[in-house]
Amino acid sequence: MQTEPAIAGVEKYDDYYADGLQEEWRRICSSAKADNIVDLCSIVPHENILEIGCGSGAILEQLDQRGFGKSLCGIEISSSGIDQLNAKNLSSLHEARTFDGVEVPYGDKQFDIAVLSHVVEHLEHPRSLLKEARRVAKHVFVEVPLEHTMRLKPDFDFNEVGHINFYTSTTIRRLLQTSGLIVKRQIVTDTSKKMIVFQKGKKGVVQHLARRTSLKLWPALAQRIFVYHSALLAASSIS
């Protein structure tokens, strides 16, 4: 097992959620992310769910409100995120704790589903954490932004968003497959209308319509131009 942190710049995240300034944005984003979890994972057992990289708990809060999962756990490298999550007092939250970004502190196949929603793009060693997710859960849900478009700049520049990996729908699928996972379902979705309007105002309505129409009519071309999201449900190929 590696000894380096699996998430780039761990020290950058410890106080990431402390000021709460982005909580409304996280709340808006979490609704669509939870939609995809429920959509893909309803076909498999989902009583015990672990979110790896749970942030401030916005997605777990959505799952709690929907009654999806009887026992929810969250782990996160940021202590400020765990503080925010515990303050939500979710009825189905069993445990929330920090971890080192490398080893998931639970036993083999302890969960029905491990969720990594918008986490893998931050990881220095994505296969290591995906293998840990595969170890502790019978199924693994992953969602990432599809940022490897024709507009991706040739040179990397680390910013406050913290993405260091950039995917297409094919490369994220292959990443899961080369981490000992069998992809059962995969979807590509657009950013929600509410999210775009929150960012862009009224002109976001037009942008949302253009993006949604392009994805429906010319999916391959649209994914070369715009950043969408891919969500995948996978099962372990290794017992």
Give the whole-number percent of the chain exceeding pLDDT 90: 78
pLDDT digits (tens, 9 = 90+) for 137-188: 999 999 999 999 999 999 999 888 899 999 999 999 999 999 999 999 999 9
Q: What are phi and psi of 149, to 5 degrees?
A: -105, 180
The phi-psi region of residue 53 (left if phi > 0; otherwise alpha if psi is between -120 and 50; otherwise beta) is left
pLDDT given for residue 238 in this prediction: 66
| Contact call for residues 227 and 143 (beta carbons, < 8 A) | no
More reliable by pLDDT, 237 or 77: 77
Residue 146 pairs with which residues in a beta bridge? Answer: 228
8 pLDDT higher than 80? no
pLDDT digits (tens, 9 = 90+) for 185-218: 999 999 988 888 888 888 889 999 999 999 999 9
9 pLDDT higher than 60? no
| For residues 52-56, average pLDDT | 96
Considering only 11-20, 101-110, 151-160, 162-171, which range has the smallest mean pLDDT?
11-20
Q: Domains in the chain, start-ordered, CATH in brackets?
A: 10-190+228-236 (3.40.50.150)
**What is the pairing mode between strands 137-146 and 111-117?**
parallel
User: pLDDT band at 1, cuts 50/70/90?
Assistant: very low
**What is the pairing mode between strands 111-117 and 48-52?**
parallel
Q: Give Dmax (Cα) for the chain.
A: 51
| For residues 39-62, average pLDDT | 97
**What is the pairing mode between strands 48-52 and 71-76?**
parallel
CA–CA separation, 184 and 7 (whole Å): 26
CA–CA separation, 185 and 150 (whole Å): 26
| Contact call for residues 85 and 57 (beta carbons, < 8 A) | yes
| For residues 16-33, average pLDDT | 77
